[in-house]
Amino acid sequence: MGIMIIIVETKKLWYGLISSLFFVILFNFLFIEPRYTFLISDKNYFVSILIFIIVSFIISSLTSRLQFHINTSLQNQSKMEMLYEMSNRLLYIHSVESIANYEMKNLQKYLNKKIIVFLQNKENNQSFGVENFINVEKYKDEINFCLNSSKICGYKENDFPDLSFKIFPLKSNKGNLGVLLVDCSTGNLTENERQFILTVLFHMDIALEREILSEEEQKIVVEMENEKFKTALLRSISHDIRSPLTSLSTGSSLLLDNFDKLDDETKKLILTDINTETLYLSAFVENLLNLTKIDSKNFVIQKKQEVIDDIVSEVVSRTSKKLGNKTLAVKGIEEILFVYGDAQLISQVLVNLVDNAIKHTRDNTKITLTYYQDDLYTWFEVSDNGGGIEKEKIAGIFDGLLEKKALNPDKNRRSGLGLSICKGIVEAHSGKIKAFNNDIGGMTVTFNLPLKKDREKKNE
């Protein structure tokens, strides 16, 4: 029992053997006559002592072996639990970076070694892990050989045995994904550790392939949506341009051919129509130019302190001719307020919002433009009482081409670019814009622009 306790506690066979000899000698000293000496008077005790030693050795060996199997079973159980947890977790991870980081952290925890996950793709290579223990770029030839041959290379392997790390290939049905590099400067991997890595890499290959397929499918869907959007946009733009051009051509031809026959009132009506269509085309082209700028990666706005009254006055001037039987009111405060941004772009946002309210509301609608400031933002609101919009359309009102869902897009007069441009300009100013149905039976569009920070003021 003493031997068993010693082996269980120390987990060493040699401690059991030494304790066996010690217990035999102690038994001889305490219990065999003459006691308290190491002399043996009866030869039968030699046989007893020999049996004692043999039994002690057998117990020590069996107990040590049992302890080894228990530890192995516990390690296997822990490994299986970890693999099971990792497999389940991978089902809910949906990015290449997250998958690589998750697997790398678990391997580092299990192996207690430095690890790098190096992924190759068409756009750029990515490394995850402790990058300072090697420079991956210096070992591109070894990595490519490992991938092409599908072999484990590196430390004490058949290929590149002089390296201080091992290279495990990451491959799938889609081709080469990358490699896993394990630092072996502190010692080689055991067979169990090697098998564990291969199992983890198998799960990782499946997860990465699934994510790659998902990304490719998403790209295809996005490309299809973009093509549909472009088709609807071109159709809508062509119709928006063709309609006013037809009116301009018809009106100008009528004036040229019958100038002397028409009375002044008719001429005035025709010229009014020509002027209206010209203003519409001008605003439409300006929106297209702004949309091109916003979509460009080089879109830069020139921010500076602008007087809000000047911007609002320009908006009123540019939209007053389009009001017809509708009215536009401005609500602000008497003191001079400044907004930090590009005056021309802010003016374009407000013009688009007012123009949108004019075009999409019923007769005799009252449109109100309101502005004010708080501690953080300058706020603008354009509201009306002209009927509002369906709730299901509010969420996509700033996405552009709101009318593209109609059965026949050619019947729509406007392309819906104005609100999309408003969103782009406001967000370029680090602001936010939203729309909602108000309490007076219409719609309100509000946006904010951040005030100029003290740090920016000092820099000027």
Q: Which tens digits make up the pLDDT trace of 432-457?
A: 999 999 999 999 999 999 998 654 55
Q: Which tens digits make up the pLDDT trace of 127-138?
A: 666 666 777 878
The answer to the question of residue 282 being in a domain is: no
The answer to the question of residue 328 being in a domain is: yes
Residue closest to 290 by CA, chosen among 213, 206, 215, 346: 346
For residues 294 and 414, what is the distance between their CA atoms, to the nearest angstrom? 20
Q: β-strand 304-307 against 338-341: which pairing, if any?
A: antiparallel
If asked whether residues 358 and 391 sit together in one domain, one would say: yes
pLDDT at 255 over 70: yes
Q: How confident is the model at residue 402 (pLDDT cuts 50, 70, 90)?
A: very low
DSSP 189: P
The answer to the question of residue 286 being in a domain is: no
For residues 77 and 69, what is the distance between their CA atoms, to the nearest angstrom? 12
pLDDT of residue 414: 44
Out of 177, 196, 215, pick the residue that ends a domain.
Answer: 215
Residue closest to 382 by CA, chosen among 405, 352, 353: 353
**Strand order, beta sheet including 443-450:** 327-331, 366-373, 377-384, 443-450, 432-437
Out of 69, 87, 105, pick the residue that ends a domain.
Answer: 87
Out of 173, 200, 215, pick the residue that ends a domain.
Answer: 215
pLDDT at 415 over 60: no
For residues 52 and 73, what is the distance between their CA atoms, to the nearest angstrom? 31
Q: Which tens digits make up the pLDDT trace of 256-297?
A: 888 888 888 888 888 888 887 787 777 777 767 766 666 655
pLDDT of residue 81: 77
The answer to the question of residue 285 being in a domain is: no
Average pLDDT over residues 323-336: 89
If asked whether residues 47 and 142 sit together in one domain, one would say: no
The answer to the question of residue 288 being in a domain is: no
If asked whether residues 252 and 342 sit together in one domain, one would say: no
If asked whether residues 367 and 261 sit together in one domain, one would say: no
pLDDT of residue 29: 84
pLDDT of residue 278: 85
Provide the domain limits for residue 187.
93-215
Neighbours of 83 (CB within 10 A): 17
If asked whether residues 101 and 72 sit together in one domain, one would say: no
Q: Which tens digits make up the pLDDT trace of 83-113?
A: 777 777 777 777 777 787 877 787 877 788 8
- Residue 387 in contact with residue 362, Cβ under 8 Å? yes
If asked whether residues 308 and 450 sit together in one domain, one would say: yes
pLDDT of residue 224: 83
Residue 36 vs residue 4, higher pLDDT: 36
- Contacts for 253 with CB less than 8 Å, ≥ 6 apart: none
pLDDT at 412 over 60: no
The answer to the question of residue 280 being in a domain is: no
Average pLDDT over residues 162-180: 82
Distance set, CA 291 to CA 86, 231, 332 (Å): 46, 17, 29
The answer to the question of residue 39 being in a domain is: yes
The answer to the question of residue 237 being in a domain is: yes
pTM: 0.47
- Express as a percent the part of the chain with pLDDT over 90: 14
Residue 388: both structure tokens together: 């509002």
Q: Which tens digits make up the pLDDT trace of 233-247?
A: 666 667 667 777 888
If asked whether residues 266 and 146 sit together in one domain, one would say: no
Distance set, CA 377 to CA 200, 303, 331, 351, 433 (Å): 52, 15, 17, 20, 12
Please classify residue 194 by burial: count the beta carbons closer than 10 Å to its beta carbon, then call 0-12 exposed, 13-18 middle and 19+ buried.
Answer: middle
Q: How confident is the model at residue 14 (pLDDT cuts 50, 70, 90)?
A: confident
- Taking only Cα atoms into account, the Rg of the chain, rounded to an integer number of angstroms, comes to 41
If asked whether residues 231 and 316 sit together in one domain, one would say: no
pLDDT at 162 over 60: yes
- Contacts for 399 with CB less than 8 Å, ≥ 6 apart: 420
- Express as a percent the part of the chain with pLDDT over 70: 84
pLDDT at 366 over 90: yes
pLDDT of residue 407: 32
- Contacts for 59 with CB less than 8 Å, ≥ 6 apart: 3, 4, 16, 20
The number of folded domains in the chain is: 4
If asked whether residues 108 and 253 sit together in one domain, one would say: no
Q: HEC string of 39-50?
A: CCCCCHHHHHHH
If asked whether residues 338 and 414 sit together in one domain, one would say: yes
Distance set, CA 447 to CA 277, 301, 327, 371 (Å): 29, 17, 22, 10
If asked whether residues 318 and 453 sit together in one domain, one would say: yes
What CATH number does the domain containing 174 carry?
Answer: 3.30.450.40
If asked whether residues 362 and 315 sit together in one domain, one would say: yes
In sequence order, the β-bridge partners of residue 338 are: 307
What CATH number does the domain containing 372 carry?
Answer: 3.30.565.10
